């Protein structure tokens, strides 16, 4: 099921870039074991799970984000090298433990895209109300932006969430991030309201009291509904975070 759905998502992306979708080779028995390889006109690409030893690749990815991109995508404390390394280690561990569904996109071995569903393996916070709602995060290196890779990452995460039978996906995006706001709307996300969130940490872990944040920002809160039958419950849970 997941492999077939990802095959279509990535295949459609390849065709829109005038490349041969027949070159896509994908292994995805589940969302924790995804390895897809394809070719575009400018070389070979790979989609894969964050895995053992990827702390260095996350660092290389972060080095390709300019100041504005880092401010828009801040699950990691970019300005503190030591803390950032620790955060990368935690991200890898969370992926290996099947807690977060976390991925890299590579171009000729260069990790230029990083995206995830926090608590895809089960969200203790939303489970208190009988719901499964992972939280989405996406970033693409500056030189690869405006080429459709961000939209591809969102569609991949939506496909993963459906395969996991999640009820919805939530995200927050900076009020100044108009490009992201419009892209998420096109992907089917709805506006919930403005919400104050912690920065430079796993937001769900902070909400659970597992980590402590020192920076906060008010952002747009959005949701992608998967289980329409649970719409009222999902909206009630999300809006309850605004109190």
pLDDT at position 18: 80
Distance CA 146, CA 152 (A): 11
Q: Which residues pair with 215 in a beta bridge?
A: 199
C-alpha dihedral sign at 43, 58, 140, 184: positive
Task: Please list, in sequence order, all residues whose beta carbon lies within 8 angstroms of the beta carbon of residue 9, skipping any fewer than 6 positions away.
Answer: 152, 155, 156, 159
Burial of 132 (0-12, 13-18, 19+ CB in 10 A): buried
Distance CA 10, CA 40 (A): 11
Asked if the model's pLDDT at residue 19 lies above 80, the reply is no
Contact 102, 32 (CB under 8 A): no
In 54-194, where does DSSP find H-type helix? Answer: 55-63, 67-72, 81-96, 124-127, 149-163, 178-186
pLDDT at position 185: 96
**CATH number, domain at 87?**
3.40.630.30
| Residue keyed to tokens 């070979």 | 44
Q: Among residues 12, 18, 17, 51, which one has the least CA distance to residue 34?
A: 51
Q: What is the pTM for the complete model shown?
A: 0.96
**What is the per-residue pLDDT across 109-159, written as a single tens digit (0 to 9) for each?**
999 999 999 999 999 999 999 999 999 999 999 999 999 999 999 999 999
Boundaries of domain holding 229: 2-240
**What is the per-residue pLDDT across 33-87, written as a single tens digit (0 to 9) for each?**
999 999 999 999 999 999 999 999 999 999 999 999 999 999 999 999 999 999 9
**What is the per-residue pLDDT across 205-220, written as a single tens digit (0 to 9) for each?**
888 888 888 999 999 9
Domain count, the chain: 1
Distance CA 131, CA 147 (A): 34
pLDDT at position 1: 87
């Amino acid at each position: 099921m997941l492999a077939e759905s990802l095959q279509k998502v990535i295949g459609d992306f390849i065709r829109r870039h005038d490349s041969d979708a027949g070159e896509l080779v994908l292994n995805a028995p589940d969302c924790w074991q995804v390895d897809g390889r394809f070719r575009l006109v400018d070389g070979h690409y790979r989609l894969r799970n964050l895995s053992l030893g990827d702390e260095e690749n996350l660092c290389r990815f972060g080095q390709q984000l300019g100041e504005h991109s880092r401010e828009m995508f801040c699950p990691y404390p970019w300005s503190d090298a030591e803390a950032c390394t620790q955060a990368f280690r935690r991200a890898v561990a969370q992926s290996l433990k099947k807690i977060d569904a976390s991925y890299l996109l590579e171009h000729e071995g260069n990790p230029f895209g990083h995206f995830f569903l926090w608590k895809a393996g089960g969200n203790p916070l939303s489970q208190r109300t009988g719901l499964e709602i992972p939280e989405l995060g996406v970033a693409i290196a500056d030189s690869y932006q405006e080429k459709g890779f961000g939209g591809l990452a969102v569609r991949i995460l939506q496909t993963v969430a459906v395969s996991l039978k999640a009820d919805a996906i939530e995200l927050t995006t900076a009020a100044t991030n108009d490009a992201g706001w419009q892209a998420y709307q096109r992907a089917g996300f709805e506006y919930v309201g403005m919400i104050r969130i912690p920065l430079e940490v796993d937001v769900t872990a902070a909400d659970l009291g597992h980590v402590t944040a020192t920076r906060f920002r008010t952002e747009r809160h959005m949701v992608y509904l998967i289980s329409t039958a649970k719409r009222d419950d999902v909206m009630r849970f999300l809006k309850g975070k605004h109190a």
